[in-house]
Amino acid sequence: MTDDILIHTHGRVGHISLNRPKALHALTLDMCHAMSAALTEWANDDAIEAVILDHSEGRGFCAGGDINLLRHSALNDEGKSGRKFFHDEYQLNHQMMTYGKPIVAFMDGITMGGGVGIALPCTYRVATENTRFAMPETGIGLFPDVGGGWHLSRLGGRLGEFLALTGARLDGAECLWAGIATHYVPSEMIPEVKARIIDKPDRIRGILSEPVGTPPKARIEGNADKIAKHFASDRYEDILASLEKAADDGDEWAAKERDTLGTKSPQTCKVALRQLATSRELDSFADNMAMEYRIASRVLTRPDFAEGVRAVIVDKTNDPKWDPATPEGVSEELLESIFAPLPADEEWKPL
């Protein structure tokens, strides 16, 4: 067990509270293991009817995974410890996705990367005015993993492709509009809502659906048509060309998104598009996680990841030298090698 996670029960409700505020509750391997163990215990406990997932304090719900561990692994142990982290984190994601009891995630704050991986499998996903949702992985040479292929590919209007490529941040109202969140609750009401869930865990849907005021208008709705148009293709070069043409015609939004994509890893943008297109055709979340583990095992040790983390997180120079440097340089052969099956004894498997 670890002090970075607080695990309690309140009557008929299990309670998991992320407790690593200085790191915005980013997940470590020990935290994943502790969560998984608690969920396994409660799954077999008839006295527990539901689970609450939240964070103890601070402005993050969960800002992601252990990026420093992953970069150290990429540079020093040929990705071995990084693959172990991905493997077990993905087992937790799958365990939550297939859990037999309702889990209520309170996404009250930064919800990114690994935080998305533990929030989106939950039956109820509560956004607030503090929610900041994003999958910003392409900016560090990674891809929207932890089930991102499954979740994002199933959003309408090519919104998932837009989020995967640009790393755009959504607020709580936008999450509700997009279907990422199931409910919106002002943060000041969350303690009361939790207390009521603990009192009546068989009434969660009703408790969350009772009038809590009208959420603000979702700003992204105003750009929904542009997103659907410019991000329509599964071919990255087509998306860039569409934005470029609109930018040349004076569309400031298109110019901004074109410039944003110019900062991302061409390799992992192409990976993300193929990931979502493939996931959309899959029948099970387990198949999705097996695919994402294959991708993660390869992308972790390719040049862009260590370089992206250096430029964006370590040195903060924001000047990554991507390899390949252009979308045209990312060949079909390279993509095929990233998505190829692993040796049978190395493939990902559920718990």
The catalytic residues are 65, 114, 137, 145
How many Å apart are CA 27 and CA 119, to the nearest integer? 12
* Dihedral of the alpha carbons of 61, 64, 65, 70, in degrees to the nearest 10: -150
Nearest to 339 by CA among 292, 305, 304: 292
Q: Are 184 and 213 in contact (CB under 8 A)?
A: no
CA-based nearest residue to 348, from 89, 139, 104, 40? 89
Three-class HEC string of the chain: CCCCEEEEEECCEEEEEECCHHHCCCCCHHHHHHHHHHHHHHHCCCCCCEEEEEECCCCEEECCCCHHHHHHHHHHCCCHHHHHHHHHHHHHHHHHHCCCCCEEEEECCEEECHHHHHHCCCCEEEECCCCEEECCHHHHCCCCCCCHHHHHHCCCCCHHHHHHHHCCCEEHHHHHHHCCCCEECCHHHHHHHHHHHHHCHHHHHHHHHCCCCCCCCCHHHHHHHHHHHHCCCCCHHHHHHHHHHHHHCCCHHHHHHHHHHCCCCHHHHHHHHHHHHHHCCCCCHHHHHHHHHHHHHHHCCCHHHHHHHHHHHHCCCCCCCCCCCCHHHCCHHHHHHHHCCCCHHHCCCCC
Burial of 202 (0-12, 13-18, 19+ CB in 10 A): exposed
